[in-house]
């Protein structure tokens, strides 16, 4: 019974951390100007995507056989790549509805094909041609490929010390590729995130976060995270913090340690807050269904008129969070109705 309660508690704080992270992501994508905006964005960006990669490994069970590896690959494809493809197709359809002439424009479809193949968060140049960004959906491809790489390494090598060395080497390779040539499907980022995936594996194996004295650890990780962020970003006008989509790995490995410290800070805060489950249950629910919220946020540029306030980035951030949450609630109600109908038919 105690073991079951511990597992439940772990899930709750992880979901809470994901809920906090997705809200911070929306804020980070909405503020960037002036001293306050730059520092808020920078501090969020210094850890927010590594946090998702790290947390994904805490709830992930590594394959114990090649057959299981194949099954988990197929399951991950349906869970990550299919939603990304659906959102991309929907986004493309909206573009065609907005401009009907695009349907017969071959250059438009060629551009869309290259965008999907590279799956980059930002635009890039390849063969003298500008490849437009896929946007936030790059995360799905990087997580899918990155986790497969880590899972395969772990399947073949059981010694964590060797796995650590290999993930560091693979991470450095990804960083180098990010400065030389970006790979299709954000594969170079999939290499670069291996150290984060290993850290998530360590947290799960050693139960680093779910231990005693969370208050002291909150303060400790906060100090480490902020101190390292100040080192990485001495000038608010220059973006020198870690930014995976842009392949900005400033002051490696300090930027990676900063990302881990920020993740640990949010994790420990989530452990404390999860003890007040009733108070934070909405954020826990959001975290459990963060995939839906992520997809909604990836497309919320189409409702920019709802949330954007010219000249006030922080009001825009709040309105953007509210707008995305309203759509999230509507979609979750629809999903709930569909599930009830299916359960009755069964």
Nearest CA-CA partner of 60 in 225, 220, 203: 203
Instruction: Indicate the number of domains in the chain.
Output: 1
Distances (CA, A) of 13 to 17, 267, 287, 294: 6, 7, 9, 19
**Does this model's pTM top 0.85?**
yes
DSSP 25-94: HHHHTT--SHHHHHHHHHHHHTTHHHHHHHHHHHTPPPPSSHHHHHHHHHHHIIIIIHHHHHHHHHHHHH
The whole-number pLDDT of residue 211 equals 62
The secondary structure element, H or E, covering residue 125 is strand 124-126
The full DSSP string for 279-305 is: HHHHHHHHHHTHHHHHHHHHTGGGGHH
How far is the C-alpha of 334 from the C-alpha of 302, rounded, in Å?
21
Report the alpha-carbon distance of residue 195 to residue 164 in Å, rounded.
Answer: 7
User: Can you give the pLDDT at residue 1?
Assistant: 41
Residue 221's domain comprises 2-345
- The whole-number pLDDT of residue 287 equals 95
- Supply angle C-alpha 119, 30, 20, rounded to 5: 85
Structure tokens at 303: 């409702």
165/167 Cα distance (integer angstroms): 6
What does the H/E/C string look like for 226-282?
HHHHHHHCCCCCCCCCCEHHHCECCCCCHHHHHHHHHHHHHHHHHHHHHCCHHHHHH
pLDDT of residue 210: 63
Per run of 10 residues, the mean pLDDT along the chain (length 346 residues) is 44 92 95 90 94 93 93 95 94 92 92 94 86 94 97 93 96 95 95 97 80 82 95 81 92 95 94 88 94 94 92 95 97 92 78
Which among 117, 331, 130, 136 is positioned nearest to 245, based on CA atoms?
Answer: 136
């Amino acid at each position: 019974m105690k073991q079951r309660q511990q597992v439940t508690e772990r899930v709750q704080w992880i979901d809470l951390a994901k809920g906090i992270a997705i809200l911070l992501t929306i804020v980070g994508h909405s503020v960037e100007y002036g001293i306050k905006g730059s520092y808020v964005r920078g501090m969020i960006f210094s850890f927010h995507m590594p946090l998702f990669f790290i947390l994904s490994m805490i709830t992930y069970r590594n394959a114990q056989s090649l057959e299981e590896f194949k099954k988990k690959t197929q399951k991950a494809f349906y869970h990550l790549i299919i939603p990304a493809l659906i959102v991309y197709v929907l986004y493309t359809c909206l573009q065609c509805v907005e401009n009907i002439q695009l349907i017969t424009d071959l250059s438009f479809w060629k551009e869309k094909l290259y965008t999907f193949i590279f799956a980059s968060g930002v635009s890039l140049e390849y063969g003298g041609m500008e490849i437009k960004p896929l946007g936030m959906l790059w995360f799905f491809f990087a997580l899918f490929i990155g986790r497969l790489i880590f899972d395969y390494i772990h399947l073949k090598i059981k010694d964590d010390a060797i796995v650590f060395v290999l993930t560091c080497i693979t991470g450095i390779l990804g960083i180098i590729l990010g400065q030389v040539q970006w790979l299709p499907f954000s594969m170079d980022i999939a290499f670069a995130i291996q150290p984060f995936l290993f850290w998530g594996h360590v947290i799960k194996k050693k139960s680093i976060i779910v231990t005693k004295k969370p208050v002291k650890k909150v303060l400790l990780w906060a100090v480490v995270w902020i101190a390292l962020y100040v080192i990485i970003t001495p000038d608010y006008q220059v973006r020198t913090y870690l930014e995976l989509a842009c392949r900005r790995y400033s002051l490696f490995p300090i930027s990676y340690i900063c990302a881990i410290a920020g993740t640990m800070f949010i994790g420990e805060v989530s452990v404390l807050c999860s003890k007040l489950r009733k108070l934070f249950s909405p954020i826990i629910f959001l975290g459990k269904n963060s995939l839906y919220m992520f997809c909604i946020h990836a497309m919320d540029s189409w409702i920019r008129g709802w949330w954007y306030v010219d000249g006030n980035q922080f009001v825009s951030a709040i309105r953007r969070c509210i707008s995305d949450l309203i759509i999230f609630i509507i979609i979750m109600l629809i999903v709930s109705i569909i599930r009830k109908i299916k359960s009755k038919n069964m």
